[in-house]
Structure 1
């Protein structure tokens, strides 16, 4: 099943804005990799921000042209190449900032001329109100972004699972991050992850909460034992859709 170039109109529930923010889902491919980038559009001010742009500049430019918007910022959930690949060239072309958590910058050493380190303080781009949620686990500085009723979760949370953890502390952090998301977001929040393994981006969190085994654990030790269990077929993990 392909979920390429889907467009979703997502209503804001934030105080002071009763309009519509548009999410353009961009399925990006490179060799065996499949990533999802998201263009979040404010049609009132003709502005857009993009989440984790990678691999296909043409698709980004086409989405901006189709939505008649100007790129005003780049949100990075973490520093892995398949999530940052187009950040620097896009920032240079459109003269816009790149946002990444201070913790991820320190961990990764990532640098770009227009890079701005962020914490958990919300900010706005036109009518796009962005709330960063610190969610370490996959990397020490991973960040999710809550925009209206849409969560852009990178490699922290997928519809079908969660991101890889590379040691016990990472798995502990991932458990705490997932618990934090459970408390912060509502059942109707739409989940837009960095990858799909069968379910289309934009699943309601109520469905993810029901079907995702990684959201069922009650303590970090059981979660960690399962997340780091031996015998996992890593090739299946990369069965991107």
Structure 2
């Protein structure tokens, strides 16, 4: 079984998640966009062993302190898909654009592809590429517990923005339909911002995907 704690970070209240295997206590941070001290405290308070930094896409509010934490814990950074490399190459410009403190440019240790698996203790996460908000956006799905971390693809009653460079509304809708709406109604998803929801609730009520 897996447990998780949602930890909002950055002025954009981005939902960073600390996830861990209950049996082994191995853990990962998904989308550590900022507030490194807060995230380090959360890892300590949960008494878990961090083994990965996982990234859904290359926007600054999702990756801002990934390198700092990877060095602090001596763990690798995995994700997103290679198509988001240009966002990592332009981290300095992102800092200026969004008014963030400068962060060092970095490249993840591993780019992820459709259908890959990430193992955290006894928990396995399925990787699916969901282009649209960014071209290399990925989501992480725990099929055993019907949980998904979807970054900025899908939100409660909304969807991700597609007005950034290389964004595509058509690709985003296709990704949601092909990769997320195929899941059972009871799958709970944790978005990049805002409240959690279920696939069934969004299937029934989200005006963007009717």
1:109 Cα deviation from its structure 2 partner: 4.3
Larger Rg: 1
- Paired position in structure 2 for 1:233: none
Whether the 8 Å CA contact 2:147–2:189 is kept in 1: the answer is yes
Distance 1:82 1:155 in 2: 11
Distance 1:173 1:205 in 2: 19
Structural mapping, 1:5-84, within 5 Å: 20-30=1-11, 33-84=12-63
Structural mapping, 1:178-197, within 5 Å: 178-196=176-194
For structure 2, the 5+ residue unaligned runs are: 90-104
Distance 1:88 1:52 in 2: 11
SS of equivalent to 1:90: helix
Structural mapping, 1:157-172, within 5 Å: 157-166=154-163, 170-172=168-170
Aligned length: 191
TM-score by length of 2: 0.83
1:63 Cα deviation from its structure 2 partner: 1.6
Structural mapping, 1:110-189, within 5 Å: 110=89, 112=106, 115-120=109-114, 121-148=116-143, 149-166=146-163, 170-189=168-187
SS of equivalent to 1:106: helix
TM-score by length of 1: 0.73
CA RMSD of aligned residues (A): 2.0
SS of equivalent to 1:184: coil
